[in-house]
A = this chain, B = another copy of it.
């Protein structure tokens, strides 16, 4: 009865399939996803396997399960939009908001001493530098400055980021094993204020995220959000 023809484990494949359909909007919030026995038939596996997948998705807040009624795609609660991984496109699609982005700058440049310090890479090392403005419903929501390590992600060198912003593009390609986050508050200077269409001096949240893959530096993102439009929300269980 074992499924054939897949490198990945069945559990992960089922999970990916369902997540993809939810994230793409194909299965909108409230949509009743197939019953366990249906998925079981579709993938030719036991109910335990399907059950474990759905339980995981429920634990992550992606679906809501109810006995007898089945499982439905959960409403996108901003509660659950944790400081985990922000993918603007995914979040926007789930919330039904029009999203677009604009690449303001893109170049392969040697990094300065400060960046070298932060990322643990040698100073002067060349990385891909990309600045992106994220816009939702015609309002600028975030400005992102990103460094991408071409030694770890060589295929980024010639990527124009036409279809997906750098964050989404990377997320699809490079799994990360460790990340460091720093959150702080800064006042917007004139340039930043103009970019985000806010008043100079407005308090902004700055989120810095650096990710590594098995010890190799992948990318650094510094994302600036207008403080009055954004907040980071997280729900934790002890040490979760």
Contacts and interface: CB of A to CB of B under 8 A. Distances in A.
Nearest to A12: B240
Contact of A181 (B62, B184, B236, B239): B236
B234 A180 contact: yes
A33 to B, nearest CB: 14
A183 interface: yes
Contacts of A78: 236, 239-240
Interface string A215-240: 00000000001011011111111111
Contact of A236 (B84, B202, B225): B84
Contacts of A230: 184
Contacts of A59: 56, 59
A176 interface: yes
A205 B181 contact: no
A81 interface: yes
Given A175-B238, A203-B203, A81 B181 contact: yes
